[in-house]
Amino acid sequence: MNKGAVPVVVVWSREECPLCDELLAELSPLLVARGLCPELRDVDDDAVARRRYGLKVPVVEVDGEAVCHGHLDAEALLEVLGARGVSPV
């Protein structure tokens, strides 16, 4: 990743997924405080993602690297974001 480039945070989820809703509710303020916004993608709309993450949703990726699944691991996410130059706030 280029120094100064903004990391891309993707949340793989699916419709009618309470765990996905819960993760997003926890994740959004954490990212907004750092000037980031997650890209939401439906795992069922992507054959490769469905094979990779189908039973693991929600999944949070940063720059294509899966950081956590099933629930938000804020510590792991902040570590990955920090390694990419995002301020810990």
Q: Which CATH class is domain 9-83?
A: alpha beta
CA atoms within 13 A on the CB side of 18: 0
Q: What angle do CA 27, 46, 69 make, to 5 degrees?
A: 35
DSSP-derived letter for residue 85 is: T
Of the chain, the percentage scoring pLDDT greater than 90 comes to 91
SS3 label, residue 37? coil
- pLDDT tens-digit map of 46-85: 999 999 999 999 999 999 999 999 999 999 999 999 999 9
pTM: 0.92
